[in-house]
Amino acid sequence: MSKSLTKSIIIASDHAGFLMKEKVKIFLNKSKIKSLDLGTFSEERVDYPDYAKKLALSVKKKSSFGILTNYSFLYFSILSLLIFNGNKSGSGKYL
C-alpha cells in the first residue's frame, strides 16, 4: 500500500468484537500502520450503534479508512453506511 493509504486506520468494536479488534491492532502495528482506537476497551456490554456511529463520523470527517468488528457485521455495515452516506430512505432523518 502507498503511504497515503496507510497513514492511519480508525478502528472500533462492540463488546463482542473487542478481542478481534485487539488482534487487528496487533496486525496493523506489525505492519507499521498507525491506528486510532475509538473503543470499546473491554468485553463489558455496550451498544454497538454507539461505536459504529463514532467510527463512521470519524472516517467521514478525516477522509480516512475504518475497521469495525462486532458479532454481527451486518448491523455495523448498515449503520455505518447510513451515517457515512446520509439516510437515503426518504425519512429525512440522519443519525
Q: Where are the domains of the chain?
A: 9-85
Q: Are 41 and 22 in contact (CB under 8 A)?
A: no
pLDDT tens series, the chain, 95 aa: 445 454 688 999 989 889 989 998 999 999 898 999 999 999 999 988 888 888 888 888 887 788 888 876 655 566 566 655 554 444 434 34
- Tell me, letter by letter, the H, E, C secondary structure of 35-69: EEECCCCCCCCCCHHHHHHHHHHHHHHHCCEEEEE
Whether the predicted model's global pTM rises above the 0.85 cut = no
Q: Which CATH superfamily is domain 9-85 in?
A: Sugar-phosphate isomerase, RpiB/LacA/LacB (3.40.1400.10)
